[in-house]
């Protein structure tokens, strides 16, 4: 069974706090008739800080689409390899063990895809398959997980590498003054993530089922208007309410697997904004605490697009994982409006258990705790 191993995540060194974002908005858009509404919406996102590729003064300057895309390519090549190396290390594999690279991004464009450059420079085999996905936006993180699962199901001995590279700050458009765009300027951040899905072995989430769902007649709710100045983000005011039609799709997928979506052990969800998580808590009937990993990503990094799901999963690993065989749901949402969903159980490889000497104990009947590893000598 294919297992999604610990993701590696990296964010750029330049940081902007929410207070700095609000101060900039007040300065730049002092005469905007809906400034107070935009400021209130930004504050309500729950974002405390975001990481940016470049200093804020450079981020606010538009040097043209051509230059921005050059920056995207150069920074992707500079930042992605180290994240891949860490993901491979965590999965206990080498580049030569990877059979397919699934690369997702919606904030820059390259042809050939970065996958070709990675194969030529990082020791991947020349017969490694390439699956670049460029037009699923924030849903692409979930889609990459699902396509990796499909591949490893078709080829049970294969291993897949997932890479998400999102430099949302390169899409800043100073002439876009709609409230939705002003909100986006205070919501999105930059980040790179990678994770390995092993066809055999590995510690992480062993996937059992995946699915997709598109809410009818919503294709223009989240979109790009592509102009000579680059990608102009379009966000409909109805987007925050999309969990009402999507929650039944999550329930349906779980039901097909004889699981109850309201009674799972972990939830790794794309946190596009706080209302997404609040509404899912309501419509699925689960406590808000169930989405703590996704909310932490939103608070500390903002919306890092397709990398959100991988970062939320990374946080669950770093907390210590969950009890053996815990059942969970992973989901990414994005343009379409599209949901990419998967179900899986937490699993620990036999090799890891033997190496760490982990002892599992139970302090109450319905809760399993893992003690600190015991070490000989």
Question: At 300, is the pLDDT very low, low, confident or very high (cuts 50, 70, 90)?
Answer: very high
Range with lowest mean pLDDT among 53-62, 136-145, 221-230, 363-372: 363-372
Question: Both 135 and 176 in a single domain?
Answer: yes
Q: What pLDDT was estimated at residue 177?
A: 83
Write down the H helix ranges in the chain: 18-28, 35-43, 56-59, 65-91, 114-121, 140-154, 179-185, 243-256, 274-284, 292-301, 308-318, 350-356
Q: Domain ends where: 178, 198, 218?
A: 198
* Number of domains into which the chain is organized: 2
Q: What pLDDT was estimated at residue 351?
A: 66
Contact 95, 123 (CB under 8 A): yes
- The sign one gets for the Cα dihedral 178, 334, 204, 157 is negative
Residue 368 within a domain? no
Query: ω into residue 138 within 30 of 0, thus cis?
Result: no
Question: Both 189 and 223 in a single domain?
Answer: no
Question: Both 183 and 225 in a single domain?
Answer: no
CATH of the domain at 83: 3.40.47.10
Work out the average pLDDT over 20-39.
Answer: 91
Question: Both 81 and 40 in a single domain?
Answer: yes
The span from the CA of 350 to the CA of 201, in Å, is 8
Which helix H or strand E contains 361, and what residues bound it?
strand 360-364
Residue 367 within a domain? no
Q: What pLDDT was estimated at residue 361?
A: 27
- Is the pLDDT score of 357 beyond 50? no
Residue 174 within a domain? yes
138 is catalytic: yes
- State the CB neighbour count (10 A cutoff) for residue 327: 19
Question: Both 259 and 297 in a single domain?
Answer: yes
Q: What pLDDT was estimated at residue 372?
A: 34
- What is the DSSP pairing of strand 367-370 with strand 360-364? antiparallel
**In this predicted model, what pLDDT tens digit does every residue of 72-115 receive, in sequence order?**
999 999 999 999 999 999 999 999 999 999 999 999 999 999 99
The span from the CA of 3 to the CA of 344, in Å, is 9
- Is the pLDDT score of 267 beyond 60? yes
Work out the average pLDDT over 158-181.
Answer: 92
Q: Domain ends where: 198, 216, 240?
A: 198
The span from the CA of 322 to the CA of 331, in Å, is 18
Question: Both 18 and 57 in a single domain?
Answer: yes
Question: At 362, is the pLDDT very low, low, confident or very high (cuts 50, 70, 90)?
Answer: very low
Range with lowest mean pLDDT among 24-28, 214-218, 253-257, 353-357: 353-357
pTM across the whole model: 0.90
Residue 328 within a domain? yes
Question: Both 16 and 157 in a single domain?
Answer: yes
Q: What pLDDT was estimated at residue 325?
A: 85
Question: At 186, is the pLDDT very low, low, confident or very high (cuts 50, 70, 90)?
Answer: confident
- Cβ contacts of 282 within 8 Å, gap of 6 or more: none
Contact 163, 80 (CB under 8 A): yes
Q: What pLDDT was estimated at residue 232?
A: 86
- What residue numbers bound the domain in which 14 lies? 3-198
Helices 292-301/308-318 angle, 10° precision: 120
Q: Domain ends where: 133, 165, 198?
A: 198
Question: Both 190 and 247 in a single domain?
Answer: no
Question: At 359, is the pLDDT very low, low, confident or very high (cuts 50, 70, 90)?
Answer: very low
- State the CB neighbour count (10 A cutoff) for residue 213: 19
In the set 5, 138, 165, 168, the catalytic residue is 138
Q: What percent of the chain has pLDDT over 90?
A: 74
Question: Both 149 and 230 in a single domain?
Answer: no
- Is the pLDDT score of 24 beyond 60? yes
Work out the average pLDDT over 287-307.
Answer: 95
- The two tokens of residue 25 are 């908005």
User: If you average pLDDT over every residue of the chain, what do you get?
Assistant: 90
Question: Both 31 and 176 in a single domain?
Answer: yes
Question: At 324, is the pLDDT very low, low, confident or very high (cuts 50, 70, 90)?
Answer: confident
- The two tokens of residue 301 are 């990094």
Residue 372 within a domain? no
Question: Both 211 and 312 in a single domain?
Answer: yes
- Which string of DSSP letters, residue by residue, matches 87-146? HHHHHT--GGG--EEEEE-SS---SS-HHHHHHHHS---TT-EEEEE-S-GGGHHHHHHH
Question: Both 234 and 169 in a single domain?
Answer: no
Residue 281 within a domain? yes
Residue 366 within a domain? no
Question: At 353, is the pLDDT very low, low, confident or very high (cuts 50, 70, 90)?
Answer: low
| Cα angle 118-123-129, degrees, rounded to a multiple of 5 | 60
Residue 359 within a domain? no
């Amino acid at each position: 069974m294919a297992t999604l191993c610990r993701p590696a995540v990296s964010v750029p060194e330049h940081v902007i706090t929410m207070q700095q974002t609000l101060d900039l908005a007040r300065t730049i858009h002092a005469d905007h008739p809906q400034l107070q509404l935009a400021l209130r919406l930004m504050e309500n996102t729950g974002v405390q800080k975001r990481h940016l590729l470049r200093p804020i003064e450079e981020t606010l300057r538009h040097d043209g689409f051509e230059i921005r895309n050059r920056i995207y390519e150069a920074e992707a090549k500079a930042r992605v390899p180290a994240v891949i190396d860490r993901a491979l290390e965590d999965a206990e594999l080498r580049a030569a063990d990877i059979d397919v690279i699934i690369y997702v991004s919606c904030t820059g464009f390259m042809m050939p895809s970065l996958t070709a450059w990675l194969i030529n420079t990082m020791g991947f085999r020349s017969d490694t398959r390439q699956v670049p996905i460029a037009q699923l936006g924030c849903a692409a993180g979930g889609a990459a997980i699902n396509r990796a699962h499909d591949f490893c199901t078709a080829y049970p001995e294969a291993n897949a590498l997932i890479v998400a590279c999102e430099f949302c700050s390169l899409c800043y458009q100073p002439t876009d003054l709609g409230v939705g765009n002003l909100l986006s300027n205070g919501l999105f951040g930059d980040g790179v993530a990678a994770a390995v899905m092993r066809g055999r072995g590995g510690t992480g989430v062993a996937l059992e089922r995946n699915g997709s769902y598109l809410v009818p007649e919503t294709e223009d709710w989240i979109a790009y208007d592509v102009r000579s100045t680059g990608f102009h983000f379009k966000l409909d005011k109805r987007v925050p309410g999309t969990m009402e039609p999507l929650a039944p799709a999550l329930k349906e997928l779980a039901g097909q697997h004889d699981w109850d979506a309201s009674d799972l052990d972990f939830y790794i969800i794309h946190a596009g904004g706080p209302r997404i998580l609040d509404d899912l808590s309501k419509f699925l009937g689960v406590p808000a605490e169930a989405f703590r990993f996704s909310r932490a990503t939103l608070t500390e990094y903002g919306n890092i697009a397709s990398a959100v799901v991988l970062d939320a999963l990374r946080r669950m690993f770093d907390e210590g994982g969950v009890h053996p065989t815990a059942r969970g749901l992973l989901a990414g949402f994005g343009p379409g409006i599209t949901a990419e969903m998967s179900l899986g159980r937490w699993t620990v490889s036999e090799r890891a258990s033997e190496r760490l000497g982990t002892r599992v104990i139970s302090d109450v009947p319905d809760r399993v705790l893992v003690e600190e590893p015991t070490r000989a000598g």
